[in-house]
């Protein structure tokens, strides 16, 4: 999903305005419009990182991934916890693992990180591309290991989603969003992700304590659209990450 100028994804923004349904556009035109907007936002973000990276301090902490990482207000939340460390967020909304592989420099390597926290692949799952996820994720990890053997790499668990509560989605939108990304599939994929991390010699972090509402889904008060988190949803995620940031 692309970001609006307000900092939200267009889908999230439109879901907060349920009257907006691309009036006058066919379903195909709507999809093409959203895909074009997403590509343009992604290109801008990558160019923004190209411009920023030469000024970044090397050997610091990098958070990278898709929109679930991009939306993480990690620096503001660290201030609220009184933690002083340098973190660069290089998430790109809507990215799949293929795209991260194509932009390793902008998202990771240019920054020569001492620690890397990564959350990528939920868009592969959402698009029914799970095998591509398992093909690409190890390649991403190995590229970092080859470039920076001393970098500590932390693979983050995928957050739960919420396909039970009402977030203003149409029936068609809900079916499409949760066709392959369900609470059950995320549990299964997290188990495999943990095994992958072990095989590659990197850490796996279950960041999900405090996110589940007891029904196996993401708490509604944390959730924008069933998938993406409001800033308060990242508070328990960060608390689960603090021991690794400090080590």
Structure token pair of residue 46:
């990558």
pLDDT of residue 24: 60
Structural domain includes residue 31: no
pLDDT of residue 20: 45
Distance (Å, whole) CA 76 – CA 233? 13
Structural domain includes residue 8: no
Specify which residues 90 forms β-bridges with: 64
Structure token pair of residue 225:
């659209």
Here the CATH number for the domain that contains residue 230 is 3.40.50.1110
* pLDDT, tens only, 113-172: 999 999 999 999 999 999 999 999 999 999 999 999 999 999 999 999 999 999 999 888
The answer, yes or no, to whether residue 35 has pLDDT greater than 50, is yes
Structural domain includes residue 38: no
Structural domain includes residue 187: yes
Distance (Å, whole) CA 62 – CA 54? 14
Say which range, 2-16, 37-51, 144-158, 189-203, has the weakest mean pLDDT.
Answer: 2-16
DSSP conformation class of 127: T
pLDDT of residue 210: 96
Nearest of 48, 86, 49, 90 to residue 72 by alpha carbon: 90
Higher-pLDDT residue of 44 and 33 is 44
Domain interval for residue 93: 57-246
pLDDT of residue 6: 37
Place 34 in a pLDDT band, splitting at 50, 70 and 90.
Answer: confident
Say which range, 6-15, 205-214, 216-225, 229-238, has the weakest mean pLDDT.
Answer: 6-15
Distance (Å, whole) CA 158 – CA 122? 7
DSSP conformation class of 164: S
Give how many domains the chain has, as a whole number.
1
Contact between 38 and 95 (Cβ < 8 Å): no
Structural domain includes residue 12: no
The answer, yes or no, to whether residue 18 has pLDDT greater than 70, is no
Structural domain includes residue 39: no
Structural domain includes residue 19: no
The CA–CA distances, whole Å, from 112 to 33, 47, 108 equal 36, 18, 7
Structural domain includes residue 103: yes
């Amino acid at each position: 999903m692309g970001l609006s100028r307000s900092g939200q994804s267009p889908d999230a923004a439109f879901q907060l305005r349920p009257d907006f349904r691309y009036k006058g556009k066919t379903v195909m035109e709507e999809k093409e419009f959203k895909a074009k907007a997403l590509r343009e936002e992604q290109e801008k973000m990558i160019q923004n990182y190209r411009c920023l990276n030469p000024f970044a301090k090397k050997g610091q902490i990098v958070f990278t991934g898709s929109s679930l990482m991009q939306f993480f207000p990690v620096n503001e939340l660290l201030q609220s916890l009184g933690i002083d460390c340098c973190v660069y967020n290089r998430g790109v909304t809507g990215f799949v693992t293929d795209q991260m592989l194509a932009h390793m420099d902008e998202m990771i390597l240019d920054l020569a990180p001492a620690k890397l926290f990564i959350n990528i692949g939920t868009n592969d799952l959402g698009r029914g591309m799970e095998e591509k996820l398992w093909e690409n994720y190890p390649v991403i990890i190995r590229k970092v290991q080859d470039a920076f053997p001393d970098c500590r790499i932390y693979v983050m668990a995928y957050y739960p989603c919420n396909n039970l509560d009402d977030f203003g989605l149409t029936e068609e939108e809900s079916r499409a969003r949760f066709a392959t990304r369900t609470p059950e599939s995320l549990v299964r994929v997290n188990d495999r992700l943990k095994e992958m991390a072990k095989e590659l010699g990197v850490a796996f972090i279950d960041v999900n304590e405090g996110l589940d509402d007891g029904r196996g889904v993401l708490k509604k008060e944390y959730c924008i659209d069933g998938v993406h988190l409001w800033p308060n949803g990242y508070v328990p995620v960060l608390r689960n990450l603090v021991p690794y940031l400090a080590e």
